[in-house]
Each structure stands twice: as structure tokens, then as C-alpha cells.
Amino acid sequence: MKKILLSIAVMCFTALTILSCKNEANENNNLQTENHHSDKDHSHHDKERKGPPHGERKGPPKGGSPEQTKTLEEVGGYAIGDVATDFNLKDVGGSVVSLESIENAKGYIVTFTCNECPFAKMYEDRLIALHNAYAPKGYSVVAINPNSPEDEKEGYAAMQQRAKDKNFPFPYLVDEGQKIYPQYGAVRTPHVFLLDQDRKVQYIGTIDDNAKSAKDVKVKYLENAINALERGEKPELNFTKAIGCPVKASRA
């Protein structure tokens, strides 16, 4: 009798062990199946998602390039050799300035600039140095702010403060009604137009080849053009693309 009971106990234990193993195997299979489906889902999702991986950005930087993109013809302003029309614009000191009012002029460094553009600020000290060097020779800087005064930081009072802070030795004029900059074809600040004594346009473009660092400049485009006029010659290079912020037209 004891042998029979012992045999029955062994059989029951064996059956339970077999059943447990089967259940464990089934659970492993189910887990593998779930993992397989999950991998497929992730793969499918990756295929569906367009664009670069997270954290990467393709294309140009925000804000676009500071370099002038339009040709002189597309801009529609003055071309080399055109005679620039004179103007009467209010200076930050309250007086009205024209090109004709500048005494002993052999030429004019008409520069469209502004208060807030980082590129305009980078060139302020260089414009001051140019004026101090060449005004005694008859080539004065004439700075004009073409931006809309809808932005108070570009308004007349802000211009007066900027001229005072930097101690501009040249006229800083407001383009009231924004009528002058389109005639010239200014599209960036700063944007330079070098005129000769007869107000003929002899050079259009940027001041030099390094906006960010005056000490690293290799080519002084504007200064080279002025020196050519001083020698009675035409500038060898009379056009470069302006580097700066787009002129801000009125929203009205």
C-alpha cells in the first residue's frame, strides 16, 4: 500500500513539473512575439517620420544671409555712372543737409546705415575713421538712416542719441518718407554709394571684406575706390554686394 501511495505521489509531482515547464515556455514565446511586434512598430514609425533626426536642423540659419541677394538691375536704383539726385534731409542737429551744401567736396561717401543693425554698429568706428581721413581731402561721409521710424529704436530721437553716443563727425540724416533710399537702390545697412564731384556713382557696395573684424580686413573696397578717384582714375572694382541688415520699409 505504501508503495502504491509513493508511486502516485511521484506521478503527481512529475505531472506538475511538466505543466510548469510548458507554461514558462508559453510565456517566453509570448514575450518574444510582443518584442518582435514592438520592433516592427518602431521600425514602421521611423520610416513614416520625415525629416532629420531630433536635434538636427537642415537648411540655412534663421534670418537668412546678410549678403545682398539682388543685382543692381533687380534692385532698380542707381547704376555705375548714373548721376545721383541731390536731396535735402534733416540732420540729427536739426539743420537741413544737401550734397551741394558740403563745401570743397571732391566726392561724397553716401552711406545708408541705422541705429540697431549689428552690421551697422560694427562699421561705425570704421566710418568715423574714413571720414576723419578723407573729409580733409574732399570726401565726406554722409550717413542716412533709411529705416522706418515706426520702430522707435530707429526714430529721430534714437538717431540723435546714437550720434551723440558715438560722437559722429559726419551728418546723420533721416530719410523722411523713405524716398531717397529707393532712388539709390539701398537694400542693406550699411550700404555705400561713392559719388564723384559731379555726383556720378563710382562705387556701390560694402566697405571692406570683413564686417566682424576690422583688424582682419584684407581688402578695403571703399578706400581703394576713393584712392582711385584721388588719382583721377576709375575704381578698378566698382561693385560689391552689400553686407548687413535689410532696410526696414514702412508697414503702412
What is the model's pLDDT at position 252? 75
Q: What mean pLDDT is predicted for residues 46-64?
A: 40
Lowest mean pLDDT among 50-54, 92-96, 97-101, 184-188: 50-54
Q: Is 92 helix (H, G, I), strand (E, B) or coil?
A: coil
Model confidence band, residue 71 (pLDDT cutoffs 50, 70, 90): confident
Q: What is the CATH number of the domain that holds 126?
A: 3.40.30.10
What is the model's pLDDT at position 154? 98
Question: Considering the domain boundaries, does residue 24 fall inside one?
Answer: no
Q: Is the pLDDT of residue 239 over 50?
A: yes
Question: Considering the domain boundaries, does residue 9 fall inside one?
Answer: no
Model confidence band, residue 68 (pLDDT cutoffs 50, 70, 90): confident
236 contacts: CB under 8 Å, gap ≥ 6: 224, 228
Which parts of 56-106 are beta strand (E)? 89-91, 96-97
Question: Considering the domain boundaries, does residue 21 fall inside one?
Answer: no
What is the model's pLDDT at position 74? 83
Lowest mean pLDDT among 65-79, 103-117, 145-159, 190-204: 65-79
Question: Considering the domain boundaries, does residue 15 fall inside one?
Answer: no
Average pLDDT, the chain: 83
Model confidence band, residue 60 (pLDDT cutoffs 50, 70, 90): very low
32/61: higher pLDDT: 32
Question: Considering the domain boundaries, does residue 58 fall inside one?
Answer: no
Q: Domain residues for 202?
A: 76-246
Contact by Cβ (8 Å): 168, 125: no
Q: Is the pLDDT of residue 84 over 90?
A: yes
Q: What mean pLDDT is predicted for residues 146-169?
A: 97
28 contacts: CB under 8 Å, gap ≥ 6: none
Question: Considering the domain boundaries, does residue 174 fall inside one?
Answer: yes
Q: What mean pLDDT is predicted for residues 157-169?
A: 98
Task: Output the CA torsion 46→47→48→53 (10° steps).
Answer: 50
Q: What mean pLDDT is predicted for residues 33-61?
A: 40
pLDDT in tens, 192-205: 999 999 999 999 99
pLDDT in tens, 108-131: 999 999 999 999 999 999 999 999
What is the model's pLDDT at position 64? 61
CA-to-CA distance for 190 and 66, rounded, in angstroms?
11
Q: Is 208 helix (H, G, I), strand (E, B) or coil?
A: coil
Tally of structural domains, the chain? 1
- For the question of whether the overall pTM of this predicted structure is more than 0.85, the answer is no
What is the model's pLDDT at position 103? 95
Question: How are the residues of the chain apportioned to helix, strand and coil, as percentages rounded to the nearest 5?
Answer: 40, 15, 40
Question: Considering the domain boundaries, does residue 45 fall inside one?
Answer: no
Question: Considering the domain boundaries, does residue 89 fall inside one?
Answer: yes
CA-to-CA distance for 217 and 211, rounded, in angstroms?
8
